[in-house]
Amino acid sequence: MSSTGGNGALRAVGFDWDGTLVDSAEATYNCYAEMFAALGVAFDRASFARTYSPAWQRTYVALGVPESRWKEADAMFVTAYARQQVRLLPGARELLQALHERGVAMALVTSGSRARVPAEVERLGLGGYFRTIVCGEDVERKKPDPEGLLRALGALGAEPQHAAYVGDSPEDVGMAHAAGARAIGLLGGFPNRDALRASAPAVLAESLAEVGAALG
């Protein structure tokens, strides 16, 4: 079986960051709880499950936060998140090393901020694996629009039919589909597992070890 959605060998893999390579679901919930409390917005585990999206403005809308306060909310979230210490998910480093040894070009395509994600990548010792990092501020159109992934693949010099994208949200799968890359869904810690299943990735993995097997 071919390791990509099209013809030919796998040449490039894009990865989401939060919930895909790092275990940040609990940190995200804690920061949301602190931020929404400061905004006077009711928020609990049920709210998190009902409104979570990597496009966090959708969460703001769902919880009734006026757009005039979004920048304030973003700043509070960033401040709270800076106190969190996220860890790599099991198998993350091993998967990246295996792909690196095969000569597969890798990129990070994330909705996370450039102020946060590259620093986390370096702190966790993964800087040498990614030839390019596309963050939320780097694109005009957010996931599931393919802009971010296509930008990353362009930087890697890879065609979508020879690429895969790995993510833990339906928006990740939608972006891969729209770009023409193979979509690999990872069932992670965020409360979107049912939606991820419904998004119909080419592969639905329970672990990064299963992702590695799917990538051949």
State the distance between the two ends of the chain, measured CA to CA, in whole angstroms.
9
pLDDT at 8 exceeding the cut of 80: no
Nearest to 183 by CA among 144, 135, 126, 129: 144
Alpha helices in 25-116 (DSSP H): 25-39, 45-51, 56-62, 70-81, 92-101
Q: What is the mean pLDDT of residues 83-111?
A: 96
> How would residue 9 be classed by pLDDT, with cut points 50, 70 and 90?
confident
pLDDT, residue 4, reads: 52
Q: Supply the pLDDT for residue 85.
A: 87
12-24+86-214 topology per CATH = Rossmann fold (3.40.50)
What does the pLDDT average to over 41-63? Answer: 94
For residue 3, what pLDDT is reported? 45
Asked if pLDDT for residue 27 goes beyond 50, the answer is yes
Mean pLDDT rounded to a whole number for the chain: 94
The three-class DSSP label of residue 166 is strand
**Rounded Cα gap, residues 160 and 164, in angstroms:** 8
Distance between CA atoms of 153 and 138, rounded to whole angstroms?
A: 14
* φ/ψ (deg, to 5) at 109: -125, 110
Task: Please check the confidence at residue 197 and state whether its pLDDT lies above 90.
Answer: yes
What's the mean pLDDT in 100-129? 95
Backbone angle region of 198, left / alpha / beta, with phi > 0 → left and psi within -120 to 50 → alpha: alpha
Q: What is the mean pLDDT of residues 167-178?
A: 97
Q: Which residues contact 23 (CB under 8 A, 6 or more apart)?
A: 86, 87, 88, 89, 189
Task: Give me the mean pLDDT over the 137-154 stretch.
Answer: 96
Residues 181-192 have a mean pLDDT of: 96
Which pLDDT does position 205 carry in this prediction?
Answer: 98
Residue 54: band (very low, low, confident or very high) from pLDDT cuts 50, 70, 90: confident
Question: Does the pLDDT at position 153 exceed 70?
Answer: yes
Is the pLDDT at 136 greater than 50, yes or no? Answer: yes
User: Stretch 132-160: mean pLDDT, rounded?
Assistant: 97
Q: pLDDT at position 210, please?
A: 98
- Tell me if 14 sits within 8 A of 96, measured CB to CB: no
pLDDT of residue 144: 95
